[in-house]
């Protein structure tokens, strides 16, 4: 069976099919060919242009004789005018021909014909522009002649229309001295006014650009000096090796990364790593804050971007063809453009941490006295340090109203129109584009040579045209740093080809801080005891939440304290005192009454003992009764191993630790004070989150073998759970867990749902009963810890651990059927 005939691409003739063919086999044969009609029309066009050239050349001698013999012009001038007349006539023929005759469709034409068509189109466009300008000039001149002729006739002077031409010439020469200054002064007037109005604003943006050439400034930063960020350094080293390979990598077929995006919390070393890149790369670097692109008036931000890239190109040409542009806080200019419109801003994903942490140091309780270092805690703490101040517009602008103020000052009343971002994207894409002036001049000169007709494009193997302009030899690399989620940035900015390589910076862990101490403490005079592995590990533990800059400041400030006492080296006590000063909640020199001092010491000792007994993955780092903020004392600890999730048993252990302070007060004083309110709030919210968010339930009470029948066992278990619920309802906190968060709504929903509220109350009851029995069993240990704490006021690191091991608290066996196991409340 034969398959139907198939039509040849680009033609009208049908060719028989040789058999079934798949699409993949048929695709290579579908090569476009020029149709017969288009080919014939193209050949006729070529004949017409050749005929026009022949006519122009044959009439050229006669035209020359007319100018030289009849008009008496000199030979050089006659030759020049004849040449111009020939090419102008030839251009006029092309212009008229393209107006009257349709242009052939060159789809599928050979390369030679396509190149000839490009030349013909350039010639036509060139002469069409010239004749259009000439037409407007002649019409303007004719209009002036008519006006002058009418004025002279009204004045009674008899003259012809063209007889007024000498008069116009004299008038022009007479007015030229008065007109010329105005033509020069008017642009200068507008230029100077623009500079007076916009110049200071533009200068403020330009002044934020900081250009550093190799040797200008000794950063003192190498890649080896960037500590605690092993993975980012490895990624950056790979990119730098590609940048330094230059043409070798390109010749191998690779395309180097154009830009890097550093993502991480403030203080994690993003700017420091960028300086290390510039030092290791031995190239100039341009530093620019993202806020420097925000300008009051539209257009100035675009000018700042253009000047930034222009300066980077100039530095690249000077230093081997490469330059780095580092834009810190690039989110100030690179936010999603949808977020620029009111009501369409980026909304961060809600987190349970929003209602789990309190205060500037992320305490687990509202009173701020319990802190546990975890990954989520560090990320929240570092992010809180970068929160910008609330925007306050001047009263004069506020009175205008948001719409009118946005119209008058589009850059000053919010984010603006994103013009700086658009221009930055254009510059990133156009880094390799050929220089504009070279491209413009090359195109103009080649077009002029083509429009002369008589100058061939090639003589043998030598081209008589300027070659196409090559891409810029200098390479500009962009590095951006941000602390906002990557979803908040504009997708056009972070796509491959721009800032497509994303490098994440984590907040410093304990091991990272130990590495950072290795760098900074060796630069400062210190006692040899601080060089032991034990001390280095302790310093890394007690400085949880510290950034590299804070660790550097602590080392420097510790030396200050040592020098103030006449010592040339600082010790561990100086480090501890420097930490107190550097931290946000600096300890306040407040003396409590003796009874209150001991009560605060017992409260914090309860937290420490509860953590020691039930939290296997937590290690104590600080125990203090020095007032910081609103808290009279603090218990701080850190995870031994970082976790990204937790089990119900770990959550229950956390509740027991939080409630151990209240249980201690009941054991020692048979009542509790008002200071446990923050503990109850934190514990209540976590219990409600366990039920309403994680679907957790109270721990199963095992009474196997304690009763004769299963029915008696079930009834006893129900009575125990009711007692747990009754205790939990008594201590549950009813305050709002936080407005605006979906998790907060879930926690409120637990309170409104009778069944889930009962589960949360039972969890709290179990945790408190466990804490009460543990504190009752270890009353002597609690009192011993309180005595030491009252005497020393503050314990750090190994001191806390050694004290806990010395008092040696033990976990009790709790019999829920005994009366003494249940607290009286």
Per-residue model confidence as pLDDT tens digits over 679-693 = 898 899 889 888 988
User: Is pLDDT of 110 > 80?
Assistant: no
| Contact between 546 and 508 (Cβ < 8 Å) | yes
Q: Cα–Cα distance between 20 and 405 in angstroms, integer?
A: 70
Burial of 647 (0-12, 13-18, 19+ CB in 10 A): exposed
Instruction: Choose among 575, 543, 572, 541: nearest CA to 556.
Output: 575
Q: Which residues contact 478 (CB under 8 A, 6 or more apart)?
A: 258, 259, 260, 324, 325, 327, 428, 498, 499
Which positions ≥6 away from 823 have C-beta within 8 Å?
Answer: 663, 666, 727, 768, 769, 772
- Three-state secondary structure call for residue 637: strand
- CA atoms lying within 13 Å on the CB side of residue 213: 12
Cα first-last separation, the chain? 98
- CB neighbourhood size of 44 (10 A): 12
Please state the rounded mean pLDDT for residues 298-320: 83
**Quick check: 612 pLDDT over 90?**
yes
Fold of the domain built from segment(s) 208-387+423-431+472-505 = Rossmann fold (3.40.50)
* Planar angle of CA 349, 351, 357, nearest 5 degrees: 140
Q: What is the pLDDT of residue 342?
A: 42
Q: What percent of the chain clears pLDDT 70, i.e. is strictly above it?
A: 82
Averaged pLDDT for residues 595-614: 92
Nearest to 164 by CA among 154, 149, 153: 149
Q: Which residue, among 323, 332, 319, 326, has the nearest Cα to 292 in the 3D structure?
A: 332
Query: In the structure, what pLDDT confidence band is assigned to residue 388 with cuts at 50, 70 and 90?
Result: low
772/774 Cα distance (integer angstroms): 5
pLDDT tops 90 at residue 654 = yes
What's residue 630's pLDDT?
A: 67
User: Among 613, 637, 624, which residue's Cα sits nearest to residue 808?
Assistant: 613
Asked whether residue 821 carries a pLDDT value surpassing 50, the answer given is yes
Q: Please give the Cα distance from 76 to 65 (Å, whole number).
A: 12
Residue 239 tokens read as 């990119």
pLDDT of residue 288 exceeding 80: yes
Mean pLDDT of 402-408: 48
Q: Between 282 and 353, where is the model more confident?
A: 282
Q: What is the pLDDT of residue 800?
A: 92
Residue 69: Cβ-neighbour burial (10 angstroms; 0-12, 13-18, 19+): exposed
The token pair at 682 is: 């934190």
**CA-to-CA distance for 810 and 825, rounded, in angstroms?**
24
User: Rounded to whole angstroms, how far apart are CA atoms 14 and 431?
Assistant: 49
* Cβ count near 450 (within 10 Å): 18
**How do residues 249-275 score in pLDDT, each as one tens digit?**
677 777 777 888 998 888 788 888 887
Average pLDDT, the chain: 79
Q: Is the pLDDT of residue 400 over 50?
A: no
- Residue-wise pLDDT tens digits, 509-533: 888 888 888 888 888 998 888 888 8
Strands (E), 168-244: 210-212
Question: What phi, psi does 85 have (nearest 5°)?
Answer: -65, -40
Whole-number Cα distances in Å, 335 to 120, 200, 232, 387, 488: 47, 26, 23, 16, 6
Residue whose tokens read 């341009």? 286
Closest CA to 447 of 172, 125, 197: 125
Q: How confident is the model at residue 424 (pLDDT cuts 50, 70, 90)?
A: confident
Tokens of 296: 């009051």
Identify the helix (H) or strand (E) that includes residue 723: helix 710-731
Q: What is the mean pLDDT of residues 346-373?
A: 72
Position 386 scores a pLDDT of 66
Domain 510-582 class in CATH: mainly alpha
SS3 label, residue 548: helix
CB 610, CB 579: distance < 8 Å: no
**Structural domain boundaries in the chain:** 1-33, 36-152, 169-205, 208-387+423-431+472-505, 510-582, 594-617+646-821
pLDDT tens digits along 95-104? 888 887 776 7
* Per-residue pLDDT tens digits for 53-75: 888 888 888 888 888 888 888 88
Segment 221-241 shows an average pLDDT of: 80
Q: What is the pLDDT of residues 728-770, one digit of tens each?
A: 999 887 666 655 556 667 777 788 888 999 999 999 999 999 9
Residue that wins the pLDDT comparison between 46 and 630: 46
pLDDT, position 356 = 75
CATH of the structural domain 594-617+646-821, one choice from 1.10.540.10, 1.25.40.10, 1.20.58.760, 1.10.10.10: 1.20.58.760
Q: Single out the residue of 266, 265, 270 nearest to residue 287, CA to CA.
A: 270
> What is the residue-wise DSSP string for 490-520?
-HHHHSTTSS-EEEEEPPP-HHHHHHHHHHH
Give the pLDDT of residue 601: 92
Q: Are 413 and 402 in contact (CB under 8 A)?
A: yes
| Contact partners, residue 35, CB within 8 Å, separation at least 6 | 10, 11, 12, 105, 108
- Segment 660-671 shows an average pLDDT of 93
**Residue 90 in this model has a pLDDT that exceeds 50:** yes
HSE on the CB side for 219, CA within 13 Å?
25
Is the C-alpha dihedral spanning 388, 393, 398, 403 positive or negative? negative
* pLDDT band per the 50, 70, 90 thresholds, residue 5: very low
pLDDT reported for residue 16: 43
Environment class of residue 393 by beta-carbon count within 10 Å: exposed (0-12), middle (13-18) or buried (19+)?
middle
The predicted pLDDT at position 345 comes to 47
Q: Each residue of 115-133: pLDDT tens digit?
A: 777 788 888 888 888 889 8
């Amino acid at each position: 069976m034969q398959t139907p005939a198939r039509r040849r691409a680009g033609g009208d003739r049908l060719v028989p099919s040789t058999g079934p063919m798949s699409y993949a086999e048929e695709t290579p044969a579908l090569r476009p060919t020029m149709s017969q009609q288009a080919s014939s029309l193209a050949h006729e066009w070529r004949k017409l242009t050749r005929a026009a050239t022949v006519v122009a050349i044959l009439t050229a001698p006669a035209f020359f004789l007319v100018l030289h013999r009849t008009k008496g012009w000199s030979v050089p001038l006659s030759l020049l005018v004849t040449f111009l007349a020939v090419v102008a006539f030839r251009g006029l023929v092309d212009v008229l021909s393209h107006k009257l005759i349709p242009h052939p469709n060159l789809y599928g034409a050979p390369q030679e014909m396509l190149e000839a068509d490009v030349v013909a189109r350039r010639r036509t466009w060139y002469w069409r522009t010239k004749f259009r300008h000439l037409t407007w000039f002649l019409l303007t001149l004719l209009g002036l002649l008519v006006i002058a002729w009418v004025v002279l006739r009204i004045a009674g002077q008899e003259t012809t229309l063209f007889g007024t031409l000498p008069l116009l010439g004299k008038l022009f020469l007479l007015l030229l001295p008065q007109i010329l200054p105005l033509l020069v002064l008017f642009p200068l007037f507008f230029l100077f006014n623009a500079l007076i109005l916009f110049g200071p604003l533009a200068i403020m943006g330009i002044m934020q650009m900081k250009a550093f050439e190799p040797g200008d400034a000794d950063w003192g930063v190498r890649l080896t000096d960037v500590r605690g960020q092993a993975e980012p350094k490895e990624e950056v080293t790979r990119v730098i090796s590609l940048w330094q390979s230059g043409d070798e990598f390109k010749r191998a077929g690779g395309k180097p990364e154009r830009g890097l995006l550093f993502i991480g919390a403030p203080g994690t070393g993003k700017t420091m790593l960028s300086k290390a890149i510039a030092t290791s790369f031995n190239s100039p670097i341009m530093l620019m804050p993202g806020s420097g692109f925000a300008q009051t008036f539209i257009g100035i931000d675009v000018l700042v971007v253009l000047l930034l890239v222009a300066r980077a190109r100039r530095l690249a040409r000077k230093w081997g063809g490469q330059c780095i542009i580092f834009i810190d806080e690039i989110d100030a200019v690179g936010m999603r453009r949808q977020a620029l419109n009111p009501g369409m801003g980026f909304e961060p994903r809600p987190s349970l941490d929003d209602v789990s942490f309190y205060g500037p140091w992320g305490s687990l309780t509202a009173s701020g006295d319990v802190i546990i270092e975890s990954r989520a805690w560090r990320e929240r703490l570092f992010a809180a340090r970068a929160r910008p101040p609330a925007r306050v517009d001047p009263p004069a602008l506020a009175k205008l109203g948001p719409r009118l103020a946005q119209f008058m000052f589009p850059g000053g009343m919010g984010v603006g129109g994103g013009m700086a971002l658009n221009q930055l994207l254009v510059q990133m894409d156009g880094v390799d584009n050929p220089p504009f002036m070279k491209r413009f001049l090359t195109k103009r000169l080649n077009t002029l040579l083509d429009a002369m007709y008589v100058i061939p494009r090639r003589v043998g193997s030598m081209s008589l045209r300027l070659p196409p302009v090559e891409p810029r030899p200098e390479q500009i690399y962009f590095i951006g740093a941000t602390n906002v989620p990557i979803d908040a940035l504009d997708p056009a900015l972070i796509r491959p080809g721009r800032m497509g390589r994303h490098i994440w910076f984590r907040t410093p862990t304990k091991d990272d801080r130990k590495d950072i101490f290795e760098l900074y403490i060796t630069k400062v005079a210190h006692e040899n005891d601080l060089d032991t592995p034990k001390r280095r590990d302790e310093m890394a533990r007690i400085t949880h939440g510290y950034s590299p800059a804070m660790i550097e400041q602590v080392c420097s400030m510790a030396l200050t304290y040592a020098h103030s006492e006449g010592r040339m080296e600082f010790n561990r006590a100086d480090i501890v005192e420097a930490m107190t000063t550097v931290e946000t909640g600096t300890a306040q020199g407040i003396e409590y009454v003796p009874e209150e001092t001991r009560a605060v010491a017992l409260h914090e000792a309860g937290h420490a003992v509860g953590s020691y007994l039930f939290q296997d993955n937590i290690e104590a780092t600080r125990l203090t009764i020095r007032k910081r903020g609103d808290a009279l004392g603090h218990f701080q600890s850190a995870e031994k191993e970082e976790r990204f999730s937790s089990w119900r048993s770990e959550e229950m252990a956390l509740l027991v630790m939080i409630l151990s302070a209240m249980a201690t007060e009941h054991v020692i004083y048979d009542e509790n004070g008002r200071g446990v309110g923050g503990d109850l709030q934190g514990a209540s919210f976590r219990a409600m989150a366990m039920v309403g968010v994680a679907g957790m339930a109270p721990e199963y009470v095992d009474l196997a073998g304690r009763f004769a029948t299963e029915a008696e066992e079930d009834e006893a278990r129900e009575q125990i759970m009711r007692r747990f619920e009754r205790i939990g309802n008594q201590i549950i906190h009813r305050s709002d867990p936080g407005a605006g968060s979906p998790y907060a709504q879930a926690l409120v929903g637990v309170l409104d749902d009778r069944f889930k509220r009962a589960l949360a109350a039972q969890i709290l009851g179990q945790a408190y009963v466990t804490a009460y029995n543990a504190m009752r069993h270890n009353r002597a240990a609690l009192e011993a810890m309180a005595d030491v704490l009252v005497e020393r006021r503050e314990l750090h690191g190994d001191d806390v651990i050694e004290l806990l091991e010395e008092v040696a608290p033990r976990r009790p066996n709790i019999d829920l059927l005994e009366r003494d196991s249940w607290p009286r409340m």
